[in-house]
A and B are shown apart, each in its own frame.
Chain A
């Protein structure tokens, strides 16, 4: 199997599905001729033409709002927002429209679209290019939100998203776009939406992460292993609907939970996971649940970025805290 990175994996998934399903169209800023600022849609316009891979004006609300119309009109649009910080310009369309359309029409219209958004920090970018606003989406009923942490899942989740039949927000962790190469089957396959993944089994502590933070979590687990601590690492993978059953099962076994994410801590996804685990596995917990996250601050420019972001060392501090409680 060829080893490919996350960018190529998503590109391959789009390409293979577009070849089979003529209703799929890609639209966004610089997605065509330029192939996307991260090259995720590279080559697709040359292959499928300007009618199916469309460079739009600079208009996030326009991109998502028209994608909703395109979906209702019978196509399967794959709109792109260039950076997550610009998602807010389309938030009315995402939250007030896309997420509610099925409910508003009592099932008459379920806009089937896959909104791709490069996500998160760690690339020394300007303001609004490094945020992790997933909590906004997960707190919006009606949206399905996924975020792969590796090329294999990236391809499988994209194919699942394209076949899902309801709006999916596909967050792409840009810090690891090209950082991980992995053997990925050339043929099509799916990775299920709504199922988190036990990436590494362990006994002493459960670490939950997703997206780019999975690398830091796995590295922490390796270091713990060398110290004789066995960490179970779970990739949440789908943020909404959130599969906490897998996490609860793990915590029942380990008794300790550390959650890590780049977004600010207060009302972040970690809070929801902690609440559910507290509710369902209270008696199994041997220590308070620890959150190793970004802080309740504005995401800084890159001189302070490394201080803001969680990392392996910070995760280790969190793990030691729950181990030594």
Chain B
């Protein structure tokens, strides 16, 4: 319904709840208010977790981090999946992983430079963060294809961004999905920047969504800061995929409020005023205004929500930091299923070196 009504080639974009929290009733999907409220709370936790990660990075307690600030509604797309559905994230999908049920502790561990954070509960059906942007769509095709071949009614969501949309792997993924009618949902979070490069220089096309047509399936551009639009498009795409109707493509137009990563200085390529101009379109603000109108939100409650969020984040952080450091032998034990003789000798070499050298043995000049 939404996909047919909003033609990316005509520059039509789905928006259901505007920045002031007003809902276009003609387009309203069947998402109950208590669910909206619940998601508002989860998005608030995500924002707190994100802020905390940024400040931890500055304190040297976390490595390079890719913030999701401003993209919380788009990342909540993962909350609209069934338990048996899969998500395939790239590196800015900390929020999508969180929304699919991955504990913050795992995500913090990963960003603290510990691979064990990506050893997540198998039942969650999430793939590990893939830093090679543009690759997740390909793996999503494979996973969803497996579901189809096994007769499961599960879909897989492949995440990528406006930058990654230029990668050949995205083309190959969408083409294969079209040919094999895999139950794949391609979610492109267009946050309008690939590090410094604006969307307008990434592709000459007016939208990224229109590309779907070239692969023989439907694409829609939605306003990705609008949780209702995210839900509506995800619902339609996943329903179609479950019915055997094949893939679809959702371009979620959003805006990266923060830097590309903590290693980046956005003032080099975009004025601070531009960020400020986008602030009124914050995905949380409109939800708050909406809930307020419905009598489902108050300022007092907001303090509670934020306090709870901070507590949840602090406890996840404490858990993550309490994990003892990984064992140097993990290097070998997880690279190889059956460790080759040479690697085994190297493992012994490292362990004996560390035994003799003590703690300082691991530092380089």
Contact = CB atoms under 8 A, between A and B. Distances in A.
B133 interface: yes
A58 to B, nearest CB: 4
Contacts of B334: 298
Contact of B167 (A59, A128, A297): A59
Contact of A302 (B113, B194, B332): B113
A305 interface: yes
Interface in A285-325: 295-298, 300-314, 317
Given A37-B195, A55-B196, A58-B166, A302 B63 contact: yes
A225 to B, nearest CB: 15
Contacts of B164: 58
Interface string B354-365: 101100111111
Interface residues of A toward B: which range? 35 or more
Interface in B327-343: 328, 330-332, 334-336, 340, 342-343
Q: Which of B195, B330, B340 has the most CB of A within 10 A?
A: B195
- Classify the secondary structure of A's interface with B: loop
A86 interface: yes
A255 interface: no
Nearest to B364: A311
B195 A124 contact: no
A89 interface: yes
Given A58-B133, A304-B326, A33 B196 contact: yes
Contacts of A298: 331, 334-335
A128 B131 contact: yes
A122 B335 CA distance: 20
Nearest to B196: A34
A313 B195 contact: no
B353 interface: yes
B112 A303 contact: yes
A215 interface: yes
A231 to B, nearest CB: 15
Contacts of B163: 57-58
A202 interface: no
B344 to A, nearest CB: 9
B165 to A, nearest CB: 8
A195 B285 CA distance: 62
A303 B110 CA distance: 10
Given A296-B335, A302-B63, A34 B357 contact: no
B110 to A, nearest CB: 8
Contacts of B239: none
B168 interface: yes
B63 A265 contact: no
Contacts of B342: 265-266, 296
Contacts of B363: 306, 311, 313
A292 to B, nearest CB: 10
B201 interface: yes
Interface in A170-214: 175
A70 B317 CA distance: 50
Contact of B354 (A37, A125, A307): A307
Interface in A17-63: 29-30, 32-35, 37, 55-62
Q: Which of A32, A127, A305, A308 has the most CB of B within 10 A?
A: A127
B364 A58 contact: no
A205 to B, nearest CB: 18
Nearest to A298: B335
A310 to B, nearest CB: 7
B269 A297 contact: no
Given A303-B112, A304-B331, A313 B361 contact: yes
Q: Which of B131, B347, B354 has the most CB of A within 10 A?
A: B131
Given A33-B196, A126-B91, A295-B332, A303 B325 contact: yes
Interface in A106-144: 122, 124-129
Contacts of A313: 353, 357, 360-361, 363
B64 A297 contact: no
A278 B5 CA distance: 72
A265 B110 CA distance: 27
A62 B166 contact: yes
B194 A58 contact: yes
B264 interface: yes
B158 to A, nearest CB: 16
A276 interface: no
A219 B365 contact: yes
Interface string B221-252: 00000000000000000000000000000000
12 contacts: A29-B195, A33-B269, A34-B268, A57-B203, A58-B163, A89-B168, A295-B343, A296-B335, A296-B342, A297-B336, A303-B112, A311-B364
Interface of B: 63-64, 91, 110, 112-115, 131-134, 163-164, 166-169, 194-197, 201-203, 263-264, 268-269, 325-326, 328, 330-332, 334-336, 340, 342-343, 346-347, 350, 353-354, 356-357, 360-365
The 10 closest A-B pairs by CB, nearest first: A302-B113, A311-B364, A57-B166, A34-B196, A306-B362, A58-B163, A297-B335, A296-B343, A303-B113, A301-B113
